[in-house]
A and B are shown apart, each in its own frame.
Chain A
């Protein structure tokens, strides 16, 4: 059973259609990437999932049904725009937000010091939010998201304002939570983080789904018929499988003719005595896929309009 099912939702605000047709499902124990450029409908979709907004059409199923107060307690949400009381001490801030998620005083007293310690915030717990750096505030916000041990974690730009050390800390934590069976939806523009963390993803733009599937499926779908080759000496002439050769630093980017098997090319190179240092099937990065799909999508909308 899928943890979250987003079933062809749409949502308008006045004349503006923020979400036109978005659909995807999130499976238990996976990190799911909800990707898209700014203004693509990601935040509105999240707010519909969280029952802040009602969809104009379509439906949401969360933990096998509609949202309830009990289910709200099972969700940890890190919104895009961070929210802590600026004039209140971090410890009090977090204790209050935890109590709103249904934790008792004893549970808060037990869990909060451990989380503060884990995020290296213990010595800052008496400081007001406004006295902390943006990175520290981000870590405090993550504690508010996770302290009630939610089953579903929805995080919007979790790495914003974090330095490399803290980015790694959060990445390790997300992997740990996934291994514990938690379901995680992550919105981010940092494609390298998506490549390292997400099991599956959906790419949305202009309120539509442009692309979805597992990371492997997506990359394979967009893999080009190219190889990156590093050899000693020159490439032999008369290799009929190659359509184009482009030099990129130490590498040669070879574009193969349609229907050519890269393994066949490698075999021929070795048979002809070429000393191959490196042979890599070139797949586009997620960044490249993102840009390409969004551009294609935009062209598509313009043609439709």
Chain B
């Protein structure tokens, strides 16, 4: 155990002390932030905040628009100003006071059509605000109890027949959480497994491996490396979560929709456990690749393929939306590489039967046992093959006793 701790500590500190780790750690969020800021800036500059006028010939508007107390860049409403006549509104459009105006005709209640006048293409924000405005005033004409609640819509709670799986059906959660899980998983695989492969190949290239395996068993070496590199990946994720949490705290009033993520503990626990188990399978696989290859270049094509498969469920996003318990989402949930993302997406969109979750965990655990068994053989056979690529049949070649 002491040696496993020594190896994992060394692996962790070795990678964390490198400049490239810190560049990745802070560089990636800052790069994403910069891209977000630039795209936001361009959208903001292109967004026309000038008012829109309207002439109400149908006497429909009993409740004029009420602007939010605090207008900001994240929550802008186009002011809708009432005009008595069309000529004044047209003059204001021409002198730039208004970006356009619309007329509610006297026969609106039979045609439900309004006419919008402007010298430029209308923004979707403008049409959306106009529609809400008309909708609100139409609703006010009928006497309906609990109108506000009816407009807010219903909350649908999904539950499996045995009551074990519950989903609140929250719209944002549906896509936001699987994306986060996918990002977390991808980072772990890219960083943790990538570093593991790199360190194994380096130790073969600099011949440290012979010292290592005369100091401990190959299994101890592999477990130590996996723990250390898992730690590197988790450190990255932890820092990013802290940065994300900090950003959420600073801009919480502007990101109020994220506060509505009604996440269940079991959903998060199952998703995170799948991520960790799948990572161990991939780490074991990368250990086999590292033990079998004599250079990083040789291993990179296979590892790229494995990394690509982790994100496969995103390529079938439409299938997950339409039929999350269909054949493809199910198959991808049973494949250890794609299981975390697939299961997370399915659980976000539907109720996954308990037996399936148990089966997925059983497959993952069996895969870990298998991968460790094979990697133990690959370590024995391949770690001292400094200049030769180990073939699959070499790994399984029977050793005559």
Contacts and interface: CB of A to CB of B under 8 A. Distances in A.
A147 to B, nearest CB: 12
Interface centre among A75, A77, A83 (most CB of B within 10 A): A83
Contact of A77 (B7, B209, B214, B380): B214
A47 B216 contact: no
A56 to B, nearest CB: 4
Given A83-B210, A88-B14, A144-B211, A100 B400 contact: no
Interface centre among B10, B14, B215 (most CB of A within 10 A): B215
* Chain A interface category by residue count: 20 to 34
Contact of A100 (B6, B206, B386): B6
Contact of A82 (B6, B207, B380): B207
Nearest to A100: B215
Given A83-B207, A83-B210, A97 B384 contact: no
A102 B220 CA distance: 13
Contacts of B213: 52
Contacts of B203: 83, 85
B208 A83 contact: yes
B88 to A, nearest CB: 76
Interface string A220-251: 00000000000000000000000000000000
Given A47-B384, A100-B7, A69 B216 contact: yes
A81 interface: yes
A85 B206 contact: yes
A124 B10 CA distance: 21
B348 to A, nearest CB: 43
B254 interface: no
A54 B6 contact: no
A56 B400 contact: yes
A97 B386 contact: no
Interface centre among A12, A14, A56, A85 (most CB of B within 10 A): A85
Given A82-B207, A86-B206, A100 B212 contact: yes
B57 interface: no
A47 B381 CA distance: 12
Interface in A44-66: 47, 50, 52, 54, 56-57
Contacts, number: 66
Main secondary structure of the interface of A (DSSP, over half): loop
Given A81-B386, A102-B2, A54 B211 contact: no
B216 A100 contact: yes
Interface string A78-94: 01011111101000000
B208 A84 contact: yes
B212 to A, nearest CB: 7
B217 interface: yes
A81 B400 contact: no
A45 B397 CA distance: 20
B401 A54 contact: yes
A101 interface: yes
A218 interface: no
Interface string B265-302: 00000000000000000000000000000000000000
A84 B206 contact: yes
B208 A100 contact: no
A52 B400 contact: no
Contacts of A12: 400
Contacts of B400: 12, 56-57
Contacts of B131: none
* Chain B interface category by residue count: 20 to 34
Contact of A54 (B7, B206, B399): B399
Interface centre among B3, B202, B386 (most CB of A within 10 A): B3
A12 B210 CA distance: 19
A31 B181 CA distance: 60
A50 B216 contact: no
Contacts of A102: 2-3
A95 to B, nearest CB: 9
A249 B257 CA distance: 102
A99 interface: yes
Contacts of B212: 100
Contacts of B216: 69, 72, 100
A85 B220 CA distance: 19
Contact of A97 (B207, B211, B217, B401): B211
B12 to A, nearest CB: 12
Contacts of B14: 88
Nearest to A79: B210
B6 A85 contact: no
Contacts of B209: 83
Contacts of B401: 54, 56
Interface string B361-396: 000000000000000000010001010000000000
A12 B400 CA distance: 9
Contacts of B217: 69
A86 B216 CA distance: 21
Given A88-B14, A97-B211, A83 B2 contact: no
Nearest to B6: A99
A89 to B, nearest CB: 11
Contact of B214 (A14, A72, A88, A99): A72
Contacts of A84: 206, 208
A88 B399 CA distance: 36
B295 to A, nearest CB: 15
Contacts of A69: 216-217
Nearest to B5: A99
Contacts of A85: 202-203, 206, 208
Nearest to A101: B215
A71 B235 CA distance: 36
Interface of B: 2-3, 6-7, 10, 14, 202-203, 206-217, 380, 384, 386, 397, 399-401
25 contacts: A12-B400, A14-B397, A47-B384, A52-B214, A52-B380, A54-B399, A54-B401, A56-B399, A69-B217, A72-B216, A77-B211, A79-B207, A81-B386, A83-B206, A83-B209, A83-B210, A84-B206, A84-B208, A85-B202, A85-B208, A86-B206, A100-B7, A100-B216, A102-B3, A144-B211
5 closest pairs, A vs B, by CB? Answer: A83-B207, A83-B208, A100-B215, A79-B210, A81-B207
Given A14-B397, A96-B6, 18 more contacts: A47-B384, A52-B380, A56-B400, A56-B401, A79-B210, A79-B214, A81-B207, A83-B203, A83-B208, A83-B211, A85-B206, A85-B208, A97-B211, A99-B3, A99-B10, A100-B3, A100-B215, A102-B3
